[in-house]
Structure 1
C-alpha cells in the first residue's frame, strides 16, 4: 500500500497529460449524444422518415453503448488499455465519418451503432486509465477533471449541434469528430503508458448473444407500432415477442455463469435494487421525454436548430450548479433525505411542458428547464454513488456495469416509447384533402403545420391559413400529451426514491488494493 500512501496529493503533470487524452475522448462521446438530439427533426426532413424511425439514431447508439460496456473490462485485461482505447477512438472516428456519408435513415442508424461501439468503450477505459495513473486516494480530484465534459455536454452539445446545422449542414455534427479523434489518437500514442495485458476472467458471449439481440428486437417492435397501428401486426408483435423471450432467457441464464454479462445476483443488495429501480423509471421518463424538448422548439415554435440548442442551455446550467453541491452532500447526508427533494424539483419543472401550446412563453419554459436541471444535478450521481458505496470492493466493478447498462437500456426504451406516443398522437390529426406525402400516405394538418414552421416555402403554398392554425394547435397538444406521460412517470419515481437509505451507510468502496469503478453518465 506504499504506492497509495506515497502518491502526491495533487494531480501532477504526468497524470494531467493522461487526463488530457481521457477528456478528449469523453468530450467526443458525451457531446455526440447531446449534439444529435437537436438534429432529429433535420434527419426526419432530410430522409423523409417518421420521428419513431429517426429516434433509432439515438436508440441504436445507446444500445451499442450498453452492449459494449461489460465487454470493456474483459477486453482491457486481454488486449491492454492503451491498445483498446486507441482502437475505440479509431472506431468512433470511423463511425462518425461514415455517419456523414449516410444517404438513408437505415444507413445512418447502422453507422450510429458502429459509432456507439467505439463511444461506449471510451469512458470506462478512460476511467480505468486515470485510476491507475492517479491512485485511489486522488479519485475525488480525478472525478473533478472528468466532470468537466459531463457538465458541459448538456450545455454545449445542443448549441454546437444547432450552430453546425444552421451554418453548414447536419453532416458536420459528425465530421467534427474526425480532427478531434486524430488529435486524441496521436496524443494517446505519445502519453499513455505501454500496455502490460493480464488476461483474467472469461467473457459471457452467450449472455451477450441473448441480451443485445433481445433488446434490439423488442425496441424495433415498439418503434414500428405507430406505422402499423396494431400490436398484433407481424412487424410489431413478432420482434417484440422474440425480443422479450430472449431477454427473459438471459435473466434466467445469468444466474448460472461465474462471470455473467450482468451480475443480477447483486440485486440482493437492497440499496442497489432501490437505486436501480429509481434510476430506470427516472431515465425512461425524463431522458425519453427530454429528447423531444428540442423538437418542440423546432417544430412548434419554428426555431432554428441553433436557437433550439440555446433554449436548452438553462437545463445544463442548473445541473452544473447543483452537481458539485450534491456530491459534497452525498458524503455527509443520506441520499434518502436529499434525492426526493431533487425529484420534486424535476417534477415541478416538468409540469410546465405538459401545458405547452403554440405560443407558450419562453420565460416559463426556460425557467422550467433550469429548475429541472437543478433537480438533475442532485439526482443521478448521488443515487449511483450511494448504491455502489454499500458493495464490497470486488463487487463494485460489476455493480457499476449493471447500473450503466440499466441506464442505457432505460434511455433506449424511453426514447422509443416517447417517440411512439408522439407519432401516434400526430397521426390522429385530420388529413388534408388531396395531399399525400412521398410514401403516398395522406398529409395531416399537424404534419403540414410542422412542415410550414420549418420551411417558409411550405407555408406560402398553403391556400387556407386556418389549416396551419388548427394543425399547429393539434401538434402542440400532441407534444403536451407526450410530456404528460413523461411527467407522470417522473412523479412515480418518487415512490422507489422514498425507499432510498435515510441513514449513513458504511462505505466499502475501497480496500487495500481496489478502487471504485465510477458509473459513467452518457
Structure 2
C-alpha cells in the first residue's frame, strides 16, 4: 500500500547519523517482481475492504443493530489503519521496511482468523481494529517500495498495475463474498484472507530487498497520541449525525473535540524537529490538491459500495451471490480502465484523463439516481451505469496517483506515498460514514421513522439510496474541481 509518512527519505543531512535516502529516480534492475509483491498486499487489503461492505446488511441483521452501528465493522478497520499508518511510517524508517512489512502481514493474518471466530459485534470490531493495525504496517511501505523499485520512468506504468491489482481485489470481494455469504455465512469472508496473506508473506520474504538505511531521529509519541483520537472523533460525528442530530450534545462534543485535537496535532507537528507527519510536504499546491482528489475518489468508491449493498440486498431482495455480481461491475471496469489510463498519460496528460474519468463517474451517478426505482429493464441500464462509474474512477485514480507522487517535493519522496495511502483510507472512512448517515436520514424521512426502526426493505430502501446518490455526486464535483485547479497551477501535470 504505502510508504513512510515521515521516513528516512524525507530529510536532507538528517542528524543523528541518519543516512541520506536512496535516489528514487534510480530504479531497481528488475523492478517487476517487487511491484508484484506490493500488488499482492494491495489486492488483499482491497479484497478485505470490499467483501466487508457486502456483508454489512447481513451483519446488521445477525447482530440485531442499526445500519450506522453495523458500519463500524468497516470503519473500525479503516480508522485503525489511518491512525496507525503514520506511526508505522516512522517505525519502518527506524527499523526497516521489509521487517515491518512482514510483521504487519502476520498480524493481519492472525486478526483475520480472529474475526472469523467472533461471537458479538463489539468483539468483531476489536479484531477489526487489530486487523487495521496490521494493514497499516503493510501500508507504510508498499507505494514507497514500488516507487523506488520502478523509478520515475516506469512509475506511471507501475502505478497502473498497482491500481489494477487493487481493482482485482475489490472485484473479487463482491463475487467471492457473495458466494461465501450465501453458502458459508459471514465468518467465511474473514477466513478467506488467511491463505492470501500467507502467500503475500512468503513472497515478500523472498522478493523484497533488505534495506539497511535507518532514521535515528526520535519518535513523535505526542503527535501519535493526538492524531488517532482526532480522526476517531470526527468519523464518529460523520457516522452518527443522522442518529444524534447535528446540534445534539454528542455531535457537538465529538465534533469540537476532534477539531481541537487535530489543531493541537498540527501545532505539534510544526514545532517538533522530528514530526510524525512533516507538514512541509503540503507546500506543493499540486500535491495537496492531488491528495484531496485521492481522498474524494475513494470516498466515492466505498460510498457507492455501501449504498449499493443495501440497495441490492434490502431494496431489490437479491441473495448475496447475485448482489455480489452486481457490485463487481464497478471494480472490474475500474481494473480494466486503470492500466489504459496509465498508458495514455504521456499522450493526453494526467489532468485531462482524470477530468474525463470523473465526468464519466458523475454521469453514471445521475443515471443511477434516475433508474434506481424503476422496474426491469432499467436494472440492465443500472448495471451499465455501475460499470461506467467504475471505468470513470479507473481513468481518474491511476493518472491522479501518478501526478500526485510526481508533484511532491523531491526531499519528501517517502512521505508522498504514505500521504496518498493515508488519503485513501480517510476517503474510505468519509465515504462509508457519510453514506451511512445519509442513508439513515433518508430512510427516516421516507418512512417517517422515529429512530427505533432498525430494518426496512423494498421500495423505501431504494428511495433512500436513490436520493443518497446526491451526496456522491457532490463529492464527484469537488474532486473534479480539485483536479481542474491542479491543472491551472501545474499545467504540465
Equivalent position to 1:219, from 235, 240, 246: 235
Deviation at 1:144, TM superposition (A): 5.9
Deviation at 1:311, TM superposition (A): 1.0
Deviations 1:37-89 (A, max 9, x none): 11110111111121111111222211222223223332223222332122101
C-alpha distance in structure 2 between counterparts of 1:181 and 1:242, whole Å: 37
Equivalent position to 2:51, from 20, 35, 59: 35
Residues 82 and 266 (structure 1 numbering): CA distance in 2 closer, same or farther, change over 3 Å? closer
Equivalent position to 1:296, from 296, 300, 311: 311
TM-score, L = length of structure 1: 0.81
Q: Which residue does the alignment assign to 1:203?
A: 219
Deviation at 1:164, TM superposition (A): 0.7
Deviation at 1:364, TM superposition (A): 0.9
Deviation at 1:349, TM superposition (A): 0.5
Deviations 1:225-280 (A, max 9, x none): 3333x334343332222112111222233222234233333322221232233334
CA contact (8 A) 2:165 2:335 kept: no
Equivalent position to 1:267, from 265, 282, 285: 282
Q: Which residue does the alignment assign to 1:252?
A: 267
Higher relative contact order (CA 8 A, sep 6+): 2
Deviations 1:106-154 (A, max 9, x none): 2222211110111122244244555666777665665465455223122
CA contact (8 A) 2:43 2:169 kept: yes
Q: Which residue does the alignment assign to 1:276?
A: 291
Equivalent position to 2:428, from 407, 411, 416: 411
CA contact (8 A) 1:431 1:443 kept: no
C-alpha distance in structure 2 between counterparts of 1:111 and 1:416, whole Å: 20
Q: Which residue does the alignment assign to 1:463?
A: none
Q: Which residue does the alignment assign to 1:498?
A: 484
C-alpha distance in structure 2 between counterparts of 1:430 and 1:491, whole Å: 29
Deviation at 1:337, TM superposition (A): 2.7
Q: Which residue does the alignment assign to 1:469?
A: none
Residues 260 and 149 (structure 1 numbering): CA distance in 2 closer, same or farther, change over 3 Å? same
Deviations 1:266-314 (A, max 9, x none): 3222212322333344444453244211221111111111211111222
CA contact (8 A) 2:53 2:305 kept: no
CA contact (8 A) 1:334 1:503 kept: no
CA contact (8 A) 1:64 1:116 kept: yes
2:223 counterpart of 1:241: no
Residues 402 and 101 (structure 1 numbering): CA distance in 2 closer, same or farther, change over 3 Å? same
Deviation at 1:20, TM superposition (A): 5.7
C-alpha distance in structure 1 between counterparts of 2:27 and 2:290, whole Å: 35
2:386 counterpart of 1:400: no
C-alpha distance in structure 1 between counterparts of 2:69 and 2:405, whole Å: 36
C-alpha distance in structure 1 between counterparts of 2:302 and 2:116, whole Å: 25
2:354 counterpart of 1:339: yes
Q: Which structure: larger Rg? A: 1
Q: Which runs of 5+ in 1 are unaligned?
A: 451-471, 508-522
Deviation at 1:6, TM superposition (A): 10
Q: Which residue does the alignment assign to 2:459?
A: 473
CA contact (8 A) 1:326 1:378 kept: yes
Equivalent position to 2:395, from 367, 372, 378: 378
Residues 221 and 500 (structure 1 numbering): CA distance in 2 closer, same or farther, change over 3 Å? closer
Deviation at 1:211, TM superposition (A): 1.6
Deviations 1:317-348 (A, max 9, x none): 32223212221232343333332222111100
Residues 193 and 113 (structure 1 numbering): CA distance in 2 closer, same or farther, change over 3 Å? same
Deviation at 1:90, TM superposition (A): 1.2
CA contact (8 A) 2:98 2:209 kept: yes
Q: Which residue does the alignment assign to 2:88?
A: 72
Residues 23 and 326 (structure 1 numbering): CA distance in 2 closer, same or farther, change over 3 Å? closer
C-alpha distance in structure 1 between counterparts of 2:281 and 2:145, whole Å: 25
Equivalent position to 2:102, from 86, 110, 115: 86
C-alpha distance in structure 2 between counterparts of 1:336 and 1:183, whole Å: 36
Equivalent position to 2:440, from 416, 423, 431: 423
C-alpha distance in structure 2 between counterparts of 1:6 and 1:56, whole Å: 41
Deviation at 1:205, TM superposition (A): 2.1
C-alpha distance in structure 2 between counterparts of 1:403 and 1:5, whole Å: 21
Residues 419 and 398 (structure 1 numbering): CA distance in 2 closer, same or farther, change over 3 Å? same
2:144 counterpart of 1:158: no
**Higher helix proportion (structure 1 or 2):** 2
The 5-angstrom pairing of residues 74-153 of structure 1 reads 74-129=90-145, 139=155, 142-143=158-159, 146-153=162-169
Equivalent position to 1:320, from 320, 335, 338: 335
